[in-house]
Amino acid sequence: MLVNYRTRRRLSIFPGMMTLEQANARAQGFFPGHLGIVFTHVGHGEIEAECAVRAELMAPNGYLHAGAVVTLADSCAGFGCMATLPDGADGFTTVELKTNHLGTARDGTIICVAKVVHTGRTTQVWDAEVRHRESGRTLALFRCTQMILYPRAG
């Protein structure tokens, strides 16, 4: 069980994200699935995914489109957030994201590892690193803040 050690609050696991298989099934039919993102690890406070570089993800200049890199990182942070929603929460929305692009790719596979930095009652912060599997080069560093949503009273 994941716990916010500052507040000692237990964080629940989102029902649709309990296993790797459920994460991949949930992505299908939505933007992450459309881009070919495949989750490879779902753990407490950490999630990993990969995406094959292919022509549809390239910019007209022949390099991987920055949006594909951001989508991989944002998908990891979002699915990670779903997996660590606090009790009573029913969703989240991204309120800020920032990416530093350090490199690019023309082929191979990009991989992302996202880790939770902050798990509060109203926000979560996730950091992610996107790397090129074959060269090991870091392509991007990403930080995302999500606002936790609760059901309306009434």
Return all residues near 5 (Cβ < 8 A) that are at least 6 apart. Answer: none
| pTM for the structure as a whole | 0.88
SS3 labels along 23-56: HHHHHCCCHHHHHCCEEEEEECCEEEEEEECCHH
| pLDDT the model gives residue 94 | 96
Would you give per-residue pLDDT tens digits along the chain (154 residues)?
344 444 444 444 444 445 899 899 999 999 999 999 999 999 889 999 999 999 999 999 999 999 999 999 999 999 999 988 999 999 999 999 999 999 999 999 999 999 999 999 999 999 999 999 999 999 999 999 999 999 988 7
| pLDDT the model gives residue 137 | 98
Class of domain 2-149: alpha beta
Packed helices 20-27 and 66-83: angle between N→C axes, nearest 10 degrees: 130
| pLDDT the model gives residue 5 | 43
Tell me the domain boundaries of the chain. 2-149
Could you give the C-alpha distances from 14 to 29, 83, 138, in angstroms and in order?
Answer: 19, 5, 30
| pLDDT the model gives residue 18 | 57
